């Protein structure tokens, strides 16, 4: 095992907080990951992690070594990039995250074309509607909708995406067609809500004749998976607030209909986050350029731009 492999494994164990998670991430066995850490500790003559059967925590020496290890790996990556023609032969591994709906409908379909264009880049895509921390999870790029909380990250805006309040025709037939946010708020309709850990009470920001206004909504259905919201809406269980690109096909086919059209939702900003220390990485920049161009085209095709609605 090379010393550099040991250092890379250490960095992933530190960032993921788990030997088994780091092993899966690097596609090695937990035994190999553990052996690499032990070999590195033997070389340094210190303990880098305190291990128990239930937890793994970096020691003071581990925290000190992590900073230096990141600097070493960044230097190695930079040296490799200087040797390799970054615009024609980029190589390496990219760690990318995206929400489920955005990732499945806009990112994942473009991955094969990206892989064909840049065959030396390995891409690992993680899809989740939970909040992502780029630094602790060792990510290069994270796509998102809305306003990011982490101001330490760099942001690259992609587009404003139109959103829609929608429900099934069956739900509208049973519960009535709401025309405005006032018809929805105050428990008048069952609102299907996306819940994040630590999220405040649900408020939908809608455009009214007096300007943007937040309406407090409630319902008996909550989830942390945006696609589950769509499934519930299709099944007639209530009203969902969705980016148009996630439900465009259902709107066109009549499986869902727009509701409260007199007070539509405000568009949501789509963007991607990337860390300071990786922002000049050629493969990261190429990936973002590639995806942003194609996402813009896909949004127009689905009628998801700020002034569009699928017909």
In 62-208, which ranges are E strands?
A: 92-98, 121-127, 141-145, 154-161, 163-167, 191-194, 203-208
Hunting for tokens 């405005």 — which residue is that? Answer: 180
Task: Name the percent of the chain in helix, strand, coil, to the closest 5.
Answer: 45, 25, 35
pLDDT per position as a tens digit, 185-239: 878 899 998 876 445 557 888 999 888 999 989 889 998 888 999 999 999 999 9
Which region among 61-70, 73-82, 259-268 has the lowest average model confidence (pLDDT)?
73-82
- pTM score, whole prediction: 0.67
Please report, for residues 81, 86, 114, 187, 282, the alpha-carbon distance to residue 92 in angstroms, rounded to integers and kept in the order given.
10, 11, 14, 51, 10
pLDDT per position as a tens digit, 248-263: 999 999 999 999 999 9
Cα–Cα distance measured from residue 221 to residue 203, given in angstroms and rounded to the nearest whole number: 15
Q: In this structure, what token pair is assigned to residue 210?
A: 């007096």
Q: Are strands 239-243 and 163-167 parallel, antiparallel or unpaired?
A: antiparallel
Neighbours of 280 (CB within 10 A): 11
Count of helices and strands (H, E) across the chain: 12, 14
Question: In the predicted model, is pLDDT for residue 51 greater than 80?
Answer: yes
> Between these two residues, 78 and 279, which has the higher pLDDT value?
78
* DSSP 3-state of 274: strand
Q: Tell me what pLDDT residue 284 has.
A: 86
* Domains of the chain with bracketed CATH: 3-83 (1.10.10.10), 92-160+269-301 (3.40.190.10), 163-266 (3.40.190.10)
Q: Tell me what pLDDT residue 54 has.
A: 77
Q: Which long-range contacts (CB under 8 A, 24 or more apart) does 286-294 make?
A: 286/86, 286/87, 286/90, 286/118, 287/94, 287/96, 287/114, 287/121, 287/123, 287/140, 287/141, 288/141, 288/156, 290/110, 290/114, 290/117, 291/107, 291/110, 291/114, 291/143, 292/156, 292/158, 294/110, 294/113
Please report which residue ranges of 87-225 form alpha helices under DSSP H: 100-102, 111-117, 134-137, 169-175, 181-184
Q: Tell me what pLDDT residue 242 has.
A: 93
């Amino acid at each position: 095992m090379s010393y550099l492999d040991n250092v890379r494994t250490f960095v992933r164990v530190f960032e993921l907080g788990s030997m088994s998670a780091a092993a899966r991430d690097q596609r090695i066995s937990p035994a190999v990951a553990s052996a690499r850490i032990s070999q590195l500790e033997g070389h340094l003559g210190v303990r880098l992690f305190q291990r128990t059967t239930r937890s793994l925590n970096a020691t003071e020496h581990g925290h000190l070594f992590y900073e230096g290890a990141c600097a070493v790996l960044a230097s190695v990556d930079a040296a490799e990039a200087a040797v390799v023609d970054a615009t024609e032969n980029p190589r390496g591994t990219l760690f990318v995250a995206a929400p489920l709906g955005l990732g499945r409908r806009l990112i994942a379909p473009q991955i094969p074309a990206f892989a064909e264009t840049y065959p030396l880049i390995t891409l690992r895509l993680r899809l989740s509607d939970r909040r992502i921390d780029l630094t602790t999870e060792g990510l290069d790029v994270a796509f998102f909708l809305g306003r990011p909380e982490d101001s330490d990250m760099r942001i690259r805006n992609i587009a404003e995406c139109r959103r829609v309040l929608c429900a099934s025709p069956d739900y509208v037939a049973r519960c009535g067609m709401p025309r405005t946010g006032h018809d929805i708020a105050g428990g008048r309709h069952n609102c299907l809500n996306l819940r994040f850990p630590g999220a405040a009470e649900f408020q939908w920001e809608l455009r009214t004749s007096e300007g943007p206004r937040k309406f407090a909504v409630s319902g008996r259905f909550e989830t942390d998976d945006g696609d589950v919201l769509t499934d519930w809406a299709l099944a007639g269980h209530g009203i969902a607030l969705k980016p148009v690109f996630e439900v465009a096909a259902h709107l066109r086919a009549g499986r869902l209909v727009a509701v409260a059209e007199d007070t539509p939702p405000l568009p949501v900003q789509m963007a991607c986050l990337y860390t300071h220390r990786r922002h000049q990485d050629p493969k990261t920049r190429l990936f973002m350029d590639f995806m942003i161009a194609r996402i813009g085209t896909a949004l127009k095709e689905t009628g998801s731009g700020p002034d569009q609605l699928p017909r």
